[in-house]
């Protein structure tokens, strides 16, 4: 009964026709939808509002505010939000290539060239967020979408559900948030933090792109937090043997335990492995 109610409610949207599901998050379902008037396609993130607290509503407002101020080619664009019949709707551009996560799983790992091109786009999105005093806090391959199924498709950063608005670069207590494998040491230590937490996550993503497994992994979350706090990761043989020194050097500069010594997005965009890709990124791996 519950599901039927859900479907019929959503079919009743005046301006849009809701179609099939295209993704799912912890608290949301994302569906394709079509404007009845213009036939233009969108992705609509739907959240049940009946059980939400005032604090949850504030978070939804913040997510919309943050998305709306970030207009960038590598960031998913939010068109409008509205509440209707017990649901909150967020209308985004429809991104059709799926999650970077699925692409890594299918292909196992990326060549250095592909990884460099991919990380460059992620860095463009992150540096734009940071320039606008937004910290994403949940960078991971599930929240990075591919514009199409074609090779070299553009990457779009999505899911600003945990994003915060900071004031400049001053670290503050923003609370414990993120996804375990991507959490930075300063978040785990419950210290004040700021933009560098995103660059730590980019380091984790880059590591995963190159070999298909994460730098920090333990069954037990406590044990995993322990190795993250200490920044204990390695480059096991043989898969890392063919990876260039520049790639490892860039990962090392992102996975610096001390956030003050960690590379920034703008600096990383100037790193030779990113901006001098044809010469530096190993063609073999």
Instruction: Point out which residues bind ligand ADP (CB under 6 A).
Output: 22-28, 30, 43, 45, 76, 92-95, 99, 142-143, 145, 158-159, 161
Q: Specify the stretch interacting with Mg ion by CB under 5 A; choose among 119-127, 155-163, 189-197, 246-254.
A: 155-163
CB of 55 to ligand ADP, least distance (A): 16
CB of 196 to ligand ADP, least distance (A): 22
Report the side by side order of strands in the sheet with 29-35: 16-24, 29-35, 41-48, 87-93, 78-84
CB of 127 to ligand ADP, least distance (A): 21
CB of 165 to ligand ADP, least distance (A): 17
Q: Specify the stretch interacting with Mg ion by CB under 5 A; choose among 41-49, 118-126, 135-143, 169-177.
A: 135-143
Q: Are 91 and 44 contacting, i.e. CB atoms less than 8 angstroms apart?
A: yes
The one-character DSSP state at 193 is B
Q: How many Å apart are CA 44 and CA 11, to the nearest integer?
A: 13
Q: Which of 159, 186, 198, 246 binds Mg ion (CB under 5 A)?
A: 159
Q: Which is nearer to ligand ADP, 1 or 26 (CB)?
A: 26
Q: Specify the stretch interacting with Mg ion by CB under 5 A; choose among 8-16, 17-25, 125-133, 194-202.
A: 17-25
Q: How many Å apart are CA 181 and CA 140, to the nearest integer?
A: 9
Angle at 135 between CA 231 and CA 179, to 5 degrees: 50
Number of residues that bind Mg ion (CB under 5 A): 3
The one-character DSSP state at 143 is G
Q: Which is nearer to Mg ion, 29 or 188 (CB)?
A: 29
Q: Which is nearer to ligand ADP, 31 or 271 (CB)?
A: 31
| Block residue for tokens 């407002």 | 61
Residue 32 neighbours by CB distance under 10 Å? 17
Among residues 209, 150, 137, 151, the alpha carbon closest in space to that of 179 is found at 137
Question: Phi-psi bin for 41: left (phi > 0), alpha (psi -120 to 50), beta?
Answer: beta
138, 147, 198, 246: which one is catalytic?
138
27 binds, among Mg ion, ligand ADP, none (CB under 5 to 8 A by kind): ligand ADP
CB of 136 to ligand ADP, least distance (A): 11
Q: Are 134 and 166 contacting, i.e. CB atoms less than 8 angstroms apart?
A: yes
The one-character DSSP state at 77 is P
Based on the residue annotation, tell me whether 11 is a catalytic residue of this protein: no
Residue nearest to ligand ADP (CB): 25
Tokens linked to 279: 């010469």
Contact between 25 and Mg ion per CB under 5 A: yes
Q: Which is nearer to ligand ADP, 56 or 142 (CB)?
A: 142
Distance of CA 269 to the CA centre of its chain: 18
Catalytic residue ranges: 138
The binding site for Mg ion (CB under 5 A) comprises: 25, 143, 159
């Amino acid at each position: 009964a519950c599901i039927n109610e859900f479907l019929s409610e959503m079919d009743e949207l005046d301006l849009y026709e809701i179609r099939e599901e295209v993704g799912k998050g912890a608290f949301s379902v994302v569906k394709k939808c079509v404007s009845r008037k213009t036939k233009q396609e969108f992705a609509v993130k739907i959240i049940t509002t009946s059980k939400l607290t005032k604090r949850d509503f504030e978070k939804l407002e913040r997510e919309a505010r943050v998305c709306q101020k970030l207009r960038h080619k590598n960031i998913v664009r939010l068109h409008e939000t509205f509440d209707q019949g017990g649901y909150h709707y967020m209308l985004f551009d429809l991104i059709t290539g799926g999650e970077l996560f699925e692409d890594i799983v299918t292909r196992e790992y990326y060549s250095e060239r592909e990884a460099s091109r991919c990380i460059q786009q992620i860095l463009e999105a992150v540096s734009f967020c940071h320039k606008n005093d937004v910290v994403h806090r949940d960078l991971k391959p599930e929240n990075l979408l591919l514009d199409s199924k074609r090779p070299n498709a553009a990457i779009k950063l999505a899911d600003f559900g945990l994003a915060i608005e900071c004031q400049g670069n001053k670290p503050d207590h923003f609370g414990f948030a993120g996804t375990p494998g991507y959490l930075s040491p300063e978040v785990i230590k419950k210290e004040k933090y700021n933009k560098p937490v995103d660059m730590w996550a980019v380091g984790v993503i880059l590591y995963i792109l190159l070999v298909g497994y994460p730098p920090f992994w333990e069954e037990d979350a406590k044990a995993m937090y322990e190795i993250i706090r200490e920044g204990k990761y390695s480059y096991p043989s043989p898969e890392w043997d063919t990876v260039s020194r520049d790639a490892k050097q860039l990962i090392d500069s992102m996975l610096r335990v001390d956030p003050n010594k960690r590379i920034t997005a703008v600096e990383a965009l100037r790193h030779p492995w990113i901006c001098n890709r044809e010469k530096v990124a190993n063609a073999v791996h």
